[in-house]
Amino acid sequence: MGALLGLVAGLGLLLIFVASTDAGERPRRTPVVGPRIGRLLRSAGIATVTPAGLVSLCVIAGVLTLVVVLLVSRTPPVATAFGLMAAYGPVALIRGRARRRRRELAEVWPEAVDNLASAVRAGLSLPEALSQLGERGPTALRPAFVAFGRDYLASGRFGDSLDRLKGALSDPVGDRVIEALRIAREVGGGDLGRMLRTLSRFLRDDARTRSELESRQAWVVNGARLAAASPWAVLLALSSQPEVIGRYRSPAGVIVLALGAAACFVAYRLMVRLGRLPDEQRVLA
């Protein structure tokens, strides 16, 4: 019994030694996929879903779709194709939500800046003016500024609170506004009200121009989606006919299916790139 305890203790000490030496010698790998998914979720305004949860949802959606289509069509290549599309479905929905959120925030930021200018003109300090946006600002921005007010009251550090506000908003327009306020706070002077009014006018003109361009080119994006989805809708309708869909079990059928998927993907990406305006990047993040 004593020998067994000694062996277990020695093995434990050996594992601790190996773990400590490996931690000191091997550099830690920086994760790539997790932070990208986290940024996507934050830009969509989703705080209750983790990157692991989104990956799990994609896997579940893909597996369920694969099983259902396989039971209907009895054709593994076709089921695999629809399973892959279903696995990408949650990511596509979140990206669409992130784009809609950016458009919504771009429309309300001029109003928020106008409120800031009015508050500064009334004699409030810049932190107080930002905090009052949690009560009187646009509805879409209120939760973030309520959190900013609590954070500033707790820490008293304006710069750190602005950094956390930028992370909560995850919005390119918000980055520009916050950095302008940071510079105004650090430089000082009596031109803050004028700067805010100029910024509001610039943001309003930018949002109006972008909205007009997006409305004119929306038909290109919608046409690309319809053209890419039509062949797969026909293929899904043919899944109930075993004598037709069974041809995709052969090697030639798999090649045709793969070439069709590649052609649809390339054509869709090309049409979307030509028809959609480029998304603003968070260069000040």
What's the pLDDT tens digit per position in 20-63?
Answer: 544 444 444 444 466 788 888 888 888 788 889 999 999 999 99
Neighbours of 100 (CB within 10 A): 12
For the ranges 82-96, 119-133, 186-200, which has the lowest average pLDDT? 186-200
Residue 278's pLDDT is 66
The answer to whether the beta carbons of residues 75 and 108 sit under 8 Å apart is: no
Higher pLDDT, 71 or 188: 71
Residue 64's pLDDT is 94
Q: Of all residues in the chain, what percent carry a pLDDT higher than 70?
A: 83
Instruction: Identify the band that residue 280 occupies on the pLDDT scale cut at 50, 70 and 90.
Output: low
Instruction: Identify the band that residue 245 occupies on the pLDDT scale cut at 50, 70 and 90.
Output: confident
Tokens of 45: 């305004």
Residue 285's pLDDT is 60
DSSP E strand boundaries for 58-142: none
Tokens of 171: 């919005």
Instruction: Identify the band that residue 195 occupies on the pLDDT scale cut at 50, 70 and 90.
Output: confident
**CA quadruple 86, 91, 215, 47: dihedral positive or negative?**
positive
Angle among Cα 163, 167, 170 to the nearest 5 degrees reads 130
Residue 63's pLDDT is 94
Residue 105's pLDDT is 87
Tokens of 176: 């520009």
For the ranges 93-102, 210-219, 262-271, which has the lowest average pLDDT? 210-219
Residue 281's pLDDT is 67
Q: How far is CA 104 from CA 116, 130, 168, 235, 244, in A?
A: 19, 19, 16, 37, 47
Closest to 43 measured CA to CA, from 87, 107, 113, 94: 94
Angle among Cα 164, 170, 174 to the nearest 5 degrees reads 85
Contacting residues for 15 by C-beta, under 8 A, at least 6 apart:
none
The answer to whether residue 174 scores a pLDDT higher than 90 is no
CA–CA dist 186, 163 (Å, integer) = 15
Instruction: Identify the band that residue 125 occupies on the pLDDT scale cut at 50, 70 and 90.
Output: confident
CA–CA dist 239, 199 (Å, integer) = 56
The mean pLDDT of 100-122, rounded to a whole number, is 87
Higher pLDDT, 3 or 257: 257
Summary mean pLDDT of the chain: 81
Residue 268's pLDDT is 83
b vs e for 262-271, b when ≥16 Cβ sit within 10 Å of the residue's Cβ? Answer: eebeeebeeb
Contacting residues for 143 by C-beta, under 8 A, at least 6 apart:
134
